[in-house]
Amino acid sequence: MASAPRQESPEVLARIYRLFRDYFDKAEKKRRWSLKEDVPWNACNPNLDRRIADVVETFCVVELYLPDYLSKLIPQVRTNRGRAWMLANWGYEECKHSMAFGDWLERSGHRSDEQLADMEAMTFSHEWQLPYDNALGMVIYTMFQERATWLTYQNLRAIVGNDDPALSRVLQLISIDECAHYDFFKRLVQIYLEDDRDATLEQMRVVANTFKMPALHMLADSALRMNEIKTMRILDEDLFISKVYEPILADIDVSKKELRRRQSSREIVVAACELGQPKI
């Protein structure tokens, strides 16, 4: 693992805090939504393809690891107010995602109370660990993960179509949140690139080579679930390269050549192929 980058200067900390305030103000004005009021819950479809319900359950579990995400990420950034406050706000938004997926699974009849309780107990019996041991690596990881998650929900929503207006609305609302998260973390990475391009690119090479979606590998039947996601073309190696990796590089104005100084394209494909693969 690469060495930890240096501490941010007061100027960089001030820029990050301003970035957070802009994000927060916009979210308060334009993006708050109600789990109770904004989803047509009476339009759930109990006959929807069960594979879609399986995928919703998989991502409900990924979102349920929120206590681990927050409890491990906040200590990395406790002296960086913009990032710490962002995590508090991000946690509020993310907690709605697992609740919305759980509510849909129950109201649609695809899962019973007992099944959801078992799913929750199984999730909390494993502890998610930080994939990178420094705050710069984690912000780059989060940028990749938020874009991959946004893409996942967009693709799942396209498959649902008009077959379940409640799930379609849930996926739309959550996708908008994930897109805003990606935009924030991308801007944060841009600040770090301007501040220390070499250290940021070094971390980016590490993350691009080893990226895995969070927590997917921790599920007992992760191989099966990952296979379902790939077969339905919700997220696979090609989509990761063309819709996550390449657009991110374009957005942050990093050329492949610059990033590949120590990374071959083969390594990138290997990393994408390992999306969600079990660690053990």
Q: Which chain residues interact with Fe ion by CB under 5 A?
A: 94, 97, 146, 178, 181
Report the chain's terminal Cα–Cα distance, integer Å: 19
Q: Which is nearer to Fe ion, 146 or 274 (CB)?
A: 146
Q: Whole-number minimum distance, CB 148 to Fe ion, in Å?
A: 10
Distance CA 104, CA 153 (A): 14
Q: Whole-number minimum distance, CB 262 to Fe ion, in Å?
A: 29
Instruction: Give the tokens for residue 105.
Output: 């699974």
Q: Which is nearer to Fe ion, 175 or 203 (CB)?
A: 175
Q: Which of 124, 142, 144, 132 is nearest to 219 (CA)?
A: 124
Q: Which is nearer to Fe ion, 5 or 214 (CB)?
A: 214
Q: Who's near 23: CB < 8 A, 6+ residues apart? A: 86, 89, 180, 184
Q: Whole-number minimum distance, CB 79 to Fe ion, in Å?
A: 24
Distance CA 148, CA 140 (A): 13
Q: Which is nearer to Fe ion, 196 or 251 (CB)?
A: 251
Q: Whole-number minimum distance, CB 260 to Fe ion, in Å?
A: 28
Q: Which is nearer to Fe ion, 178 or 274 (CB)?
A: 178
How far apart, in Å, are the Cα atoms of 248 and each of 142, 150, 163, 193, 256? 12, 13, 32, 13, 11
Distance CA 55, CA 209 (A): 26
CB 141 within 8 A of CB 211: yes
Q: Whole-number minimum distance, CB 9 to Fe ion, in Å?
A: 28
Instruction: Give the tokens for residue 50.
Output: 């069960």
Q: Which is nearer to Fe ion, 205 or 245 (CB)?
A: 245
Q: Which is nearer to Fe ion, 145 or 205 (CB)?
A: 145
Q: Transcribe 179-224 into DSSP letters.
A: HHHHHHHHHHHHHHHHH-HHHHHHHHHHHHHH---TTGGGSTTHHH
Distance CA 62, CA 94 (A): 11
Q: Whole-number minimum distance, CB 98 to Fe ion, in Å?
A: 8
Lookup result for tokens 């109990």: 46
Q: Whole-number minimum distance, CB 259 to Fe ion, in Å?
A: 24
